[in-house]
Structures are given as C-alpha cells and as structure tokens.
Amino acid sequence: MVSLALKDVGATYGRRVVLSDINTGTLKGGHLTAVIGPNAAGKSTLFKRIAGLAAGPGLVHLSDTANGAEAICYMPQDTGANAVLTVYESVLLSAKQGSGWKVKDGELAEIDRVLAALKINDLAFRGLGELSGGQRQLVSIAQALVRKPEVLLMDEPTSALDLFRQIEVLGFMKRLAAQSGMAVLIALHDLNHALRYCEDTIVISGGSVVASGPTHTVVTADMLKSVYRVEARVEACSRGRPVIIVDDSITFG
Ligand SMILES: Nc1ncnc2c1ncn2[C@@H]1O[C@H](COP(=O)(O)OP(=O)(O)OP(=O)(O)O)[C@@H](O)[C@H]1O
C-alpha cells in the first residue's frame, strides 16, 4: 500500500516563502487525512508542492507506489469549466491523460461506474458550461477518481455541495480509500467533517505545521483557540460522536 512522507518541505512563489519546514510522519494509504488551517495558511500550496506544481526545498517521499510521480493526483479548489465538453467527454479526457487516445471498453465501464457512484450519471451528456457549482464539483471529483491515483489531494472538495452530498461524498471517499489503499488528503474548512471522516489531521498555520496526528487528539478546544481564534468546545453528541460547538470569536489585544 502506498505511503507518503514529507521531509523539510517548503514552497515559494518567486521569492515569497509560503511554506517552510513541513515534516510529516508516514501518511499511509487506506484512509483520509484532513489538512486544516485558516485562510491563506498554505493548504493549497502544500498540495501543489506535493503534486510538483509549486517550487520549494525538501523531499516528498512516496513509498510502495506502482506509478511513481504519476501516482499523485491534485484536485484543485477552483476547476475551470471547458464549456465545449460534455461531462462524459471531460471525464474520459481526464482518464486518458498521459496514456494515449485508444479507448478500451473497461475504461468506459469505469467512467460509468464512477459517475454512478457519485450519482451524476444523469448529467453525463450535459455540457460542463451548463452545470451548477455543486454539479461541477462532483464532476471534478469524477475526473480525479477515473485516473485511479494512489495519492489523491482534494482541495476543499465539498465546499459547493449541499449537506446530503457532503456526507455522501466523504463517506464514499472513506470507503473507497479503505478498499483501494489510496492515500487521500483533504483540505477542509468544516472541522466537524474532519472529526467524522478523517483518521488523521494536519493543522497548517502561517505556512508551518502546528499540530498533526489522530484527528481527535488534534481538533481540541485549545487548537481552535490558538489557530482559529474561536472559543469552542468539542463535545460528544447524543450518538457519542465528537462535534464542535463554537461559542464566540476571540479578539486578542
Ligand atoms: N500564485 C501565487 N503567487 C503568490 N502568492 C500566492 C500564490 N498562490 C497563493 N499565494 C499566497 O500563498 C499563501 C497561501 O495560500 P494558499 O492558497 O496555499 O492558502 P490556503 O490555506 O489554501 O487558503 P484558503 O483556505 O483561503 O483556500 C497566501 O498568502 C496566498 O496569498
């Protein structure tokens, strides 16, 4: 099963240093890791650096991969819609990326399977340009999944989805990771989703990792206060699951 580890990783845009000294333990395939932190902390930049789309020092170390650097797929936060293509064509194009244009029956069946799993098969022959924001986000997830990555970096994949689809997609990703051994890193702003679906969590603030480990040990009232500047409690709900209750924002000084 694939695993990923970051050693002294940094990222720069030109001369601007955005991330520095990012070290992680081994991030194992088979489960979801949340990457959380305030706006502009560096979450997207970290994903771009891991995917080789941003420059910087340090080592992104992949072990036990069948495909090397090709194993990594980055699903960006904002996906431009090529209005000329249908949903099906765009997903097929993504599946064929870097592997020639001959299409096998199995590949078409895989596209059908992914569209059905995300419950968007009814959109297959609609133009991308005529979709809603949430529909486009589901298509982006389909485009990433048909590439069968070993490491999938999902940048706020549920930000445009309604409540039903948020929990459907995250539950589906959790089952898929467990079945396939894929390592999934998900940038999230909804920390209750991190608590519910992600075994591990990495907290980025100001371009550095300020906490990491099993989610329930990382998402605490103290972290919410120091990193997010909110007064909050993590309490068990009536079903025994931990949930965050935010009481107030904190203004320092
Ligand atoms: N192409 C770029 N050139 C220069 N600076 C950039 C570029 N992209 C991002 N930045 C800067 O890098 C910092 C980190 O941005 P990044 O997008 O990684 O944050 P983020 O944690 O994903 O934020 P958000 O939660 O708001 O999406 C920010 O200060 C941002 O302005």
Q: How much distance in Å is there from the Cα of 126 to the middle of ligand 1?
A: 33
Q: How far apart are CA 228 and CA 205, in angstroms?
A: 9
Q: With a 6 A CB cut-off, is 166 part of the ligand 1 pocket?
A: no
Q: With a 6 A CB cut-off, is 188 part of the ligand 1 pocket?
A: no
Q: With a 6 A CB cut-off, is 153 part of the ligand 1 pocket?
A: no
Residue 229 exposure: Cα atoms within 13 Å on the Cβ side? 8
Widest CA span in the chain: 64
Query: In the CATH scheme, what architecture does the domain 3-219 have?
Result: 3-Layer(aba) Sandwich (3.40)
Token digits for 143? 């485009």
Nearest to 196 by CA among 236, 162, 161, 138: 236
State which ligand 1 atom lies nearest to the alpha carbon of 47: 18
pLDDT grade, residue 246 (50/70/90)?
very high
Ligand 1 pocket test: which of 45, 185, 204 has the largest number of ligand atoms within 8 Å of its C-beta? Answer: 45
Q: Output the residue whose Cα is nearest ligand 1's atom 5.
A: 13
Q: How far apart are CA 27 and CA 19, in angstroms?
A: 19
pLDDT for the residue numbered 84: 86
Whether the ipTM is more than 0.85: the answer is yes
Q: Output the residue whose Cα is nearest ligand 1's atom 12.
A: 18
pLDDT grade, residue 64 (50/70/90)?
confident
pLDDT digits (tens, 9 = 90+) for 124-175: 999 999 999 999 999 999 999 999 999 999 999 999 999 999 999 999 999 9
Q: How much distance in Å is there from the Cα of 193 to the middle of ligand 1?
A: 22
Q: How far apart are CA 130 and CA 158, in angstroms?
A: 19
pLDDT grade, residue 65 (50/70/90)?
confident
Q: Domain segments of the chain: what residues?
A: 3-219, 220-253
pLDDT digits (tens, 9 = 90+) for 67-83: 765 789 999 987 766 67
Q: Is the pTM of this model over 0.90?
A: yes
Q: What is the DSSP letter of 79?
A: -
Q: How far apart are CA 165 and CA 171, in angstroms?
A: 10
pLDDT for the residue numbered 153: 97
